[in-house]
Structure 1
Amino acid sequence: MKTIKNTIAIGIFVCSSAVFSQDTLQISKTDLTTKLSDQNLQLKISKQNVESARSDYRQSNALFLPNISASHTAITTTNPLMAFGSKLNQEILTQADFNPALLNDPSQVQNYATRIEVLQPILNADGLFERKAAKSKMEAYQLQTERTKEYLELEVNKAFMQLQLAYKAVGVLEKANTTAQANLNLVNNYFKQGMLQKTDVLDVQVRVNEITNQLSYAKSNVRNASDYLAFLLNEDTKGGIYKPVENLENEINPALEIAQLSTSRKDFLAMDKSTEAYKNMMKSGKMSFLPRLNAFGTYELYDTEIFQFGANGYTIGAQLSWNLFDGYKSIGKYEKSKVELQKAETEAEQYKKQSQLELNKTNRQLADAQNKVALSKLAFEQTQESFRIRQNRFVQGLEKTSDLLMTETQTAQKELEYLQAVFEYNFTKMYLEFLTK
């Protein structure tokens, strides 16, 4: 049975070592921002949203710029009205064409017309506010993109710290494994000398197997943390594993004051711009009840042959149009935009209050995390000293095997808890800076 257990433990350790020994890719914290800005997929999507909104805003240039179109039309007709009008446009009408017989039953007439048309908006009040709404929407997306980048910087730094923590956990467990193996050798020697019982050897062997299993999971966590960091940076590691150049910080720099919420946060400003866009859309709906003034002009060329310009003429004018009633469509559109504005204002108020709530919570979490770091550091130092004393007493035959194993287990556990506490404090501090940025 002992042989089987040893074989299983060695197999787990060898497999995990094989996975962990794959190509390591060095990565520094200073590389993260550049790679994130250039490669992250979520940030690219956000930038594409900005470009889409900018295109919508550019479409509103039609409010000031003319619409110019050109066409060439070819017809052949025996329709009395069309035939007479075509000859008139071609400036080839003669006295004979006024013969009633020809007027009523004309022969076939061909007409080729080239037409250039210009439509120039002059006053469209609803369009002006739609343009302002499109601009506010574009600015809102720009601010959202900046806030998204700040969030992703937080997330990628968190992933980097998790990778550091995962490597540190592997180091702690490898050290614990070395200690456990040394204890196992020592217990085996004592057992052979008849100084310990078989149960003592089995207890130590169980502890060695536990550490081997924990070490396997810790190395899997390194792979998981590396894969997530590669996802955020949109990089193909090709089976390799990231390894941080910098080690995880073992100390903290306590915050000196309570953080306050900033009204100039990018997401707050984005919501204000979004509300402004809804406000302009509501004004646009109100202005749609006013008349519109537009100018137009056409230049036409006619001939009996294709692409020939024997006659020409132009038309210039202006049109004042007023849609008095469109079946409640404009009224319904205005009412909808008014409700959407109220909804946007309510959502902005709710979001800001939730952000304040989150900030208050994080301030308390930071204080708790600082206290946790101090207590876990003290606990780790105390278990280290306790293990040292018990190990010395065990070598002298003055300590039980079970007590030594318990203290050794606590030492590794407390060291991991201390590292986790430092990680939680540093991330909470980073998150607090993100909330107040």
Structure 2
Amino acid sequence: MTNWNQMIHKRILGLVLLFYAIPTHAQNTTLPPAIHSFSLQDCISYAQEHQYALLNARMEQQKSREVVGEQRGKLLPHVDITGSFVDNLKLATSLIPDLTGDPNNKIPVQFGNKFTSSVFGQLNQTLFNSDYFLGLKASKVYQELSTKDLRRNEIDTKIAVTQAYYNVLVAEETINILTTNKLQLEKTLNDTKARYDVGVAERIDVDRIQVSYNTIETQVMNAQRLLDYSYYVLKFQMSMPETDSLELTEKVDDFANTLEIVDTVSYHYTDRVEYSIQETQIALNQLDLKSKKLGFLPSLNAYVNYGYNYFGSHFNELYKEGFGASAIGVNLTFPIFTGTERIHTINQARLTVAQSQNDLAQLTQQIQLEVRQSFTDYRNNMQSYMMQKRNMELNQGIYERVELKFEQGVATSLDVISAESELKVSQGDYLNALLNALLSKVQLDKAMGKITSNP
């Protein structure tokens, strides 16, 4: 009796963990409720278009394109306009020799005007800067990294939707089995009541079967609540509004028939998107190291400017006449000595590259370990699933024979209750084993890199 309740409690816990397994995203309730009739592939396609984590990942990819444009913009001409206005409240005083008298005497004089102003425009063009050119290359690698991160998010979304979809199908199958059991037990209860009314059966037989019937009624209601929550989790993983109606077009048997032994010999760990992401991270670190090494190179910039200077002893005279000025030139900056800072910076970057290469080697071993573990779990769950399926079929036959004997007066009500209890235990074990087999197959496909970002 308790096996079904334990199974439902485990399922609820598993769904709660699944519910919080992905980044939180709000539900869109501004649209009117819609009615959907989806297969698993339809659910995945819907999630690929609406899942908020994926929408943000696509925006991140767009941001990476803007980063490339930003780096290219650094190599284009830059034009600045500067203006100034100065009110010399008290002009600076200088001492000059008295050329008309005693040269040893100093005469205080003031140069300049009380008001000065200027307006200049200047065009700057980078001719050579290693940081700019390497930054452009690094931004393209960053764009590649954001694309791969989008693929990873799409794969994670596909896995989360698939797992939630399987939970719904198993919850529906649970209700179907419980409902069938309820109908069988209801028939037995009615027949026993009829026999009791004519004095063939005892009251204790009626009460025993009534207890079992009450229990299974409660289990059906609990399973229905679990199904409702399973649908909610699936909608959450898809970023579908909770008010929308969702109906699944497939049954759990459609996927149970696809369970088979998987070849884990011919897989390639390089198929995992995480491996490709780590390779790109190494490329970024190597570009950073190259940038540090090229820090000793000079930077060369050209400029041309043109503008006007204005002077006046009174403010109303300031802009009556302007004096043009223009210049063209180049600036060369050559970092001759920066202490030991550059040496330590290069060493840090070199160590970072070595660490990222070690991470790639560790990731390779980790993928191999994940495949072995996932394959072991899948084989064990497959074996358990096939055994529990046979046990359920055997217990179903036992229950039907005991029920027939009870109707013939050969078996007791205790025999019926015992057979019914064993049948429910085997049915619960079967459903658990089926769900575990389906979920472990998903994990194995993920470990082997067989789940791609394509719909």
TM range (shorter): 0.7 to 0.9
Alignment correspondent of 2:326? 314
Alignment correspondent of 1:252? 257
Q: Offset of 1:277 from its aligned partner?
A: 0.4
**For residue 47 of structure 2, what is the amino acid of its counterpart?**
L
Matches within 5 A, 1:114-129: 114-129=119-134
Alignment correspondent of 1:208? 213
Q: Offset of 1:369 from its aligned partner?
A: 3.0
Cα gap change, 1:424 to 1:307, in 2 (>3 Å):
farther
Matches within 5 A, 1:214-233: 214-233=219-238
Alignment correspondent of 1:410? 422
Identity %: 18
Q: Offset of 1:234 from its aligned partner?
A: 1.6
Cα gap change, 1:141 to 1:342, in 2 (>3 Å):
same
Conserved? CA contact 1:80–1:106, under 8 Å: yes
1:33 aligns with 2:44: yes
Question: Equivalent of 2:173, from 168, 176, 188?
Answer: 168
Moved more, 259-268 or 269-278: 259-268
4+ runs of 1 displaced by more than 6 Å?
305-309
Question: What TM-score does the superposition give when structure 1 sets the normalisation length?
Answer: 0.81
**For residue 297 of structure 1, what is the amino acid of its counterpart?**
V
Question: What TM-score does the superposition give when structure 2 sets the normalisation length?
Answer: 0.78
Measured in 1, the distance between the counterparts of 2:297 and 2:109 equals 47
Cα gap change, 1:300 to 1:309, in 2 (>3 Å):
farther
Measured in 2, the distance between the counterparts of 1:309 and 1:334 equals 55
1:267 aligns with 2:274: yes
Conserved? CA contact 2:93–2:111, under 8 Å: no
Number of residue-to-residue matches in the alignment: 396
Conserved? CA contact 1:141–1:270, under 8 Å: no
Conserved? CA contact 1:132–1:277, under 8 Å: no
Q: Offset of 1:308 from its aligned partner?
A: 7.8
Measured in 1, the distance between the counterparts of 2:67 and 2:203 equals 80
Measured in 2, the distance between the counterparts of 1:242 and 1:67 equals 56
Matches within 5 A, 1:87-166: 104-106=109-111, 108-166=113-171
Cα gap change, 1:269 to 1:350, in 2 (>3 Å):
same
Alignment correspondent of 1:8? none
Measured in 2, the distance between the counterparts of 1:124 and 1:81 equals 44
Cα gap change, 1:26 to 1:418, in 2 (>3 Å):
farther
Conserved? CA contact 2:269–2:368, under 8 Å: no
Question: Equivalent of 1:369, from 357, 381, 385?
Answer: 381
Moved more, 101-110 or 378-387: 101-110
Alignment correspondent of 1:426? 438
Conserved? CA contact 2:189–2:210, under 8 Å: yes
**For residue 406 of structure 2, what is the amino acid of its counterpart?**
F
Measured in 2, the distance between the counterparts of 1:50 and 1:307 equals 52
**For residue 28 of structure 1, what is the amino acid of its counterpart?**
F
1:72 aligns with 2:83: yes
Q: Offset of 1:133 from its aligned partner?
A: 2.7
1:185 aligns with 2:190: yes
Cα gap change, 1:338 to 1:423, in 2 (>3 Å):
same
Cα gap change, 1:24 to 1:34, in 2 (>3 Å):
closer
Stretches of structure 2 lacking an aligned partner (at least 5 in a row): 1-32, 95-105, 312-316, 451-455
Moved more, 359-368 or 302-311: 302-311
Moved more, 305-314 or 263-272: 305-314
Stretches of structure 1 lacking an aligned partner (at least 5 in a row): 1-22, 83-100
Task: Write out per-residue CA displacement over residues 108-141 of structure 1, whole angstroms, 9 at most, x where no aligned residue.
Answer: 4543322112222222223333333332222112
Question: Equivalent of 2:69, from 58, 65, 68?
Answer: 58
Measured in 2, the distance between the counterparts of 1:103 and 1:115 equals 33
Question: Equivalent of 2:352, from 334, 340, 347?
Answer: 340
**In angstroms, what is the RMSD of aligned CA positions?**
2.9
What is the DSSP-based 3-state SS (H/G/I as helix, E as strand, rest coil) of the residue aligned with 2:250? coil
Measured in 2, the distance between the counterparts of 1:390 and 1:25 equals 45
Measured in 2, the distance between the counterparts of 1:227 and 1:81 equals 83
Cα gap change, 1:103 to 1:160, in 2 (>3 Å):
farther
What is the DSSP-based 3-state SS (H/G/I as helix, E as strand, rest coil) of the residue aligned with 2:306? strand
Cα gap change, 1:337 to 1:308, in 2 (>3 Å):
farther
Alignment correspondent of 1:355? 367
